[in-house]
Structure 1
Amino acid sequence: MGQQDVWRLLSRFSSLRRANVVLQHLRMSVHTDAADVLLERRGCAGVITLNRPKFLNALSLDMIRQIYPQLKTWEQDPETYLIIIKGAGGKAFCAGGDIKAISEAKKTGQSMTQVFFREEYTLNNAIASCQKPYVALIDGITMGGGVGLSVHGRFRVATERSLFAMPETGIGLFPDVGGGYFLPRLEGRLGYFLALTGFRLKGRDVHRAGIATHFVDSEKLHKLEEELLALKSPSAEDVAGVLESYQAESKMDQDKSILFEEHMDKINSCFSANTVEQIIENLRQDGSPFALEQLKVINKMSPTSLKITLRQLMEGSSKTLQEVLTMEYRLTQACMEGHDFHEGVRAVLIDKDQSPKWKPAKLQEVTDEDLNSYFKSLGSRDLKF
């Protein structure tokens, strides 16, 4: 239908209000044909389904803007007893925020880079403070923004297909969405290791690390969800009871936890330094195949990102989640103005040559002064709760 046809159609309506209603409906039907996020009331629960399987359910600004008000509505609704969030397509819960779109928006001078992180972090905080039990089914890839949608909730259910990582130092960013809060609170120095290397935790290790609260076989997830939806006015304890009964039945990969059994001592000793340079020296001196592998990985990362990340976690270890999100918002805005984020997105997601040219290229070239500028207050533009 051409524009003239639309106008002809609209001119037939005597009332402008009627025309507006029609336009609204057209817009809604276009929108609901392929909604990126499905929001449904089912049984006793509100169910959020991230619905961009082709893009591994990457989180867009539009999705954030649909989830947040619905979460708030369900939280207030006396008929909604719990909230479930899951990903469509079987491959991913959510592989991260739509960072390609953010980088492109920055180049065209749009305010997307301010708005996206502000609204994403506001949603992360709403999940953390949600008064209703919040159950994230983190089946499949769960990275970056997907971690922010799950890790702050009361219940996180991993499966043998779960793959967790915060790989941001490899694209000139840092593990945000509250990474500065939950990572330093993991066992020993595990969070520092995950943050700096982007190491991928799989299956049971996601639960063992404390990122997930429960572990269930993926083939039982549908049954688990149906059982949760069928509960009558459940309390958080009732929800926990169901999750625990499914976890008790799970025999899959029970004895698989190589990372924790073999490498935790090395992680604790190598990553307990206060500077990235010292961590690198510790890995070099350790000299084991595991340590040398991590050394190789760290040497590929953005030097600026590595330094920001270590300080982010050290400071975040004694801050509240809201204080951490305020700090991380400052960091995102500085990264958007810097070189490495856009170069990282180019190398990893656009040209895919996997060889970013970082500036500065060496750790010793990232000065304390540079670092301090990333953590500076934004004054009236700061993120507030």
Structure 2
Amino acid sequence: MAGNEDVLVTVENGVGLVTLNRPKAINSLTHGMVTALGNALHAWEANDGVHTVLLDGAGERGLCAGGDVVALYHSAKAGGAEARQFWFEEYQLNAYIGHYPKTYVALMDGIVMGGGVGVSAHGDVRVVTDNTKMAMPEVGIGFIPDVGGTYLLSRAPGLLGYHAALTGAPFSGADAIAMGFADRFVPHDRLADFRAAVIADGVDAALTAHTVEPPASHLLAQRDWIDECYAGDTIADIIAALRGHDAGPADDAANLIASRSPIALAVALESIRRAARLDTLEDVLRDEYRVSCASLRSHDFVEGIRAQLVDKDRNPKWSHQSVAEVTAADVDGYFTPADPDLTFP
């Protein structure tokens, strides 16, 4: 079976192998890649000769750095039709992975951010390494965590998910396991052996032979101040609590949050709170699709990508001067139904 050149697809000994293959872009997802991955999974679902799927990324830098946001930037400036269609299919794929009937193994080595989380963290066997650098960094470009990210963030222990979403800061493989984004730890230098063992001997034997106890999670060790500081009602309350805390990392977190898009922060906070009240990944993805479509119409999404990735001046001019300027009506506007709303086959 052939994919496209950006997604390498093959079957070996009953294992469907998918490699995201844009190493120069850290395997950032294009619309074509989402389609190719979905097509491969659908074909394998109906193929009795495939019992397991294994996803990895080409190159040394990571599984996937997210969606191709520069393409989304150009779509937003042209009316947004292509971006909406990309998200529609991407979120359908995220849900499909979440209930895929065959064992789905994701090798979450190196950088795994945004859309990379969406194609891996909803799988059955989610393997991280000592090289894993995971993040949901969307608020830094005026966007809001998506791809089912708010489902996972809202279900992390305590308020660790709030910290990860509002700072956008990367976290380790050990942190990812502690937060529910992953479940198995394989040292980076044994990952190739693990992959080979999955093909030769099956998933269970590979896990027995190569997984080790993860290191202690640095984030989990900081739950006391994180749970205390992120309990505030508003972003302003959270920043004030962080500033008032004596832990150095709390002040670092406040500085990071203060650099992000004020409206994206407020919407992210509301998104996670809503996700916590929703029962299924599909329900959360439908909300996320509404938020993403609203982001597409916003000033901050285009401006954030411009500042970080197009002009690279790292000096975005956000629509709100401060988090205090963001109103409840501003936030509510992001959750209006999309036209059409996200549906699932």
Give the TM-score band, short-chain normalised.
over 0.9
How do 1:1-385 and structure 2 match up within 5 A? 35-109=5-79, 111-231=81-201, 239-248=203-212, 255=215, 257-261=217-221, 263-319=222-278, 320-378=280-338, 380-385=339-344
Is contact 1:47–1:83 with CA below 8 Å preserved after alignment?
A: yes
Gaps of 5+ in 1: 1-28
CA drift at 1:153: 0.4
Provide Cα deviations, 1:322-377, integer angstroms capped at 9, x if missing partner: 01100010001110001000000000001111111100222122111111111011
Distance 1:244 1:210, change over 3 A: farther
CA contact (8 A) 2:128 2:182 kept: yes
Post-superposition shift, 1:273?
2.2
Output the TM-score relative to the length of structure 2. Answer: 0.95
Moved beyond 6 Å, runs of 4+: none
Task: State how far apart, in whole Å, the 1-side matches of 2:215 and 2:44 are.
Answer: 39
Which amino acid in 2 is paired with 1:292?
D
8 Å Cα contact 2:198/2:205 also seen in 1: no
Residue 230 of structure 1 and its aligned partner are, at CA, apart by 1.7
**Counterpart-to-counterpart distance in 2, 1:79 and 1:274:** 52
Contact 1:166 1:175 in 2 (8 A): yes
Q: Which runs of 5+ in 2 are unaligned?
A: none
- Whether the aligned pair in 2 keeps the contact of 1:302 and 1:361 (CA below 8 Å) is no
Rg larger in 1 or in 2?
1
| 1-structure distance, mates of 2:250, 2:208 | 36
Evaluate the alpha carbon distance shift between residue 129 and residue 366 of structure 1 in structure 2; reply closer, same or farther with a 3 A threshold.
same
Q: Which amino acid aligns with 1:290?
A: P
Q: Secondary structure at the match of 1:134?
A: strand
Offset from partner CA, 1:135-163 (integer Å, 9 cap, x none)? 00011100000000101001110011100
CA distance in 1, matches of 2:285, 2:228: 28
Cα deviation for residue 42 of structure 1 reads 1.1
Residues of 1 paired with 2:180 and 2:208: CA distance? Answer: 15
TM-score (norm 1): 0.85
What is the aligned-residue identity percentage?
39
Tell me by how many angstroms 1:255 deviates: 4.8
Query: How many Å separate the matches in 1 of 2:164 and 2:204?
Result: 28
